[in-house]
Amino acid sequence: MYTAEFDYHKVSSVADALAALAANPDAKLLAGGHSLIPTMKLRLAAPSALIDVSQIEGLKGIRLEGETIVIGAMTTHREIEHSSLLKEKCRILPEQAALIGDPMVRNKGTIGGALAHADPAADYPASMLALGASMKIESSSGARVVSADNFFLGMFQTAVQEGEMLTEIHIPANTLGSAYEKFAHPASRYAIVGVAVVKHAGGNTRAAVTGAGASAMRLTKLEAGASSGLVDAADLLSDHVASAEYRAHLVDVMARKALARV
């Protein structure tokens, strides 16, 4: 319950955040804080400083830009859950947001924070892969856009490098349907297996799973038409709550349920 000592900087623009990050190499960006603060309280993390980016106005909100939905990184789960734009054009995200934590967590937690943290059992990574989303990453030397397929690199690892921050999520606005089915961990209610399936405008289906492995991954066999044996248990996590074999089975079950609703 007691963190190590740290400095706290509150910033109001991306430029200020990047400058503060450059000045404090051991710093962590603070968004909703629902993953970071508990790890600091358990003293599993002890950053020298927190740079609070949660109040940067330019990073909040959901808007349509042509055929792309742009979600600011500091948009909360609650805003996503209740967004009429998303409900109309990308229902999988409100559906997922409603499954995250409880109302208090959803009021504070942000999509950018969740994606940059890349918890292997977080919900959004599956939909990002299935949607073919891309992430805008900014640094003092400029901005770059990375596809979801190249964003999640492993357990708690993303394409965001030192001195960079995730600022926007770009999602195609013309998908034809989507669904997410989650088998939740009984205690944490994170995903043991969460399968996202999205039908795209070109007629192709993209699907991905989160929770089952070290990071979210595409379900290429499902995309190719298979309905079972979608993942190899050897590639999955295994623990006292769910063995790899059981997770592999759950991927098939959750995929079947998601496909039925897409």
Partner 1 sequence: MTQKFVGQAMKRVEDPRFITGAGNYTDDIAVLGMVHAAMVRSPYAHAKIKSIDSSAALALAGVLAVLTGKDLVGAGINPIPTGWLLPDLKISAHHAIQPEEVNHVGNIVAVVIAESRAIAEDAVALVDVDYDVLDSLSLGSDALAEGAVQVHPEAPGNMAFDWNIGDSAAVDAEFAKADKIIRLELKNQRLVANAIEPRASLAEYKRAGEEYTLYTTSQNPHIHRVMIGAFIMGIPEHKLRIVSPDVGGGFGSKIFQYPEEVIVLFAAKKVGRPVKWTARRSESFVSDAQGRDHESVAEAAVSSDGKLLALRVDTIANMGAYLTTFAPAVPTYLYGTLLNGTYKWNAIHCHVRGAYTNTVGVDAYRGAGRPEATYLIERIVSMAALELGMDAAEIRRKNFIQPDEFPYQTPVALAYDSGNYEPALDMALEKLGYAALRVKQAEMRKQGKYIGIGVCTYLEACGLAPSALVGSLGAQAGQWESALVRVAATGMVEVLTGSHSHGQGHETAFAQVVADELQIPVEHVSLVHGDTARLPHGWGSYGSRSAPVGLSAITLACRKITDKAKKIAAHLLEASSEDMEHVDGKFQVKGVPERNKSFFDVSLMAHLAHNYPADLEPGLEATHFYDPKNFVYPFGTHLAVVEIDSDTGSTKLIRYVCVDDCGPIINPLIAEGQIHGGVAQGVGQALLENTLYDKSGQLISGSYLEYTMPRADDMVQLEIGHTVTPSPHNPLGVKGIGEAGTIASTAAVANAVIDALEPFGVKHLDMPFTAEKVWRVMQPKLAQAADD
- Look up tokens 């089915």; give the residue: 181
Question: Is residue 110 a contact partner of residue 54, using CB atoms and an 8 Å limit?
Answer: yes
CB of 37 to partner 1, least distance (A): 14
Question: Is residue 140 a contact partner of residue 20, using CB atoms and an 8 Å limit?
Answer: no
Q: Using alpha carbons, select from 83, 225, 191, 22 the residue that is nearest to residue 11.
A: 22
Task: Pick the piece of the chain touching partner 1 (CB under 8 A) from 16-24, 103-111, 134-142, 245-253.
Answer: 245-253
Q: Is 240 in the site for partner 1 (CB under 8 A)?
A: yes
Distance CA 96, CA 6 (A): 33
Task: Pick the piece of the chain touching partner 1 (CB under 8 A) from 24-32, 104-112, 204-212, 235-243.
Answer: 235-243
How many residues contact partner 1, by CB under 8 A?
A: 18
Tokens standing for 56?
């940067």
One residue of 2, 67, 162, 202 binding partner 1 per CB under 8 A:
2
Q: Is 250 in the site for partner 1 (CB under 8 A)?
A: yes
Question: Is residue 105 a contact partner of residue 156, using CB atoms and an 8 Å limit?
Answer: no
In the region spanning residues 38 to 57, those forming contacts with partner 1, defined by CB under 8 A, are 42-43
Q: How many Cβ atoms sit within 10 Å of the Cβ of residue 63? A: 10
CB of 162 to partner 1, least distance (A): 27
Q: How many Cβ atoms sit within 10 Å of the Cβ of residue 41? A: 13
Distance CA 179, CA 255 (A): 9
In the region spanning residues 146 to 205, those forming contacts with partner 1, defined by CB under 8 A, are 183, 186-188
Q: Is 242 in the site for partner 1 (CB under 8 A)?
A: yes
Strands 205-210 and 191-199: antiparallel
One residue of 104, 241, 260, 261 binding partner 1 per CB under 8 A:
241
* DSSP character at residue 55: T
CB of 240 to partner 1, least distance (A): 6
CB of 228 to partner 1, least distance (A): 11
- Rule CB under 8 A: which residues touch partner 1? 1-2, 4-5, 42-43, 183, 186-188, 240-243, 246, 249-250, 253
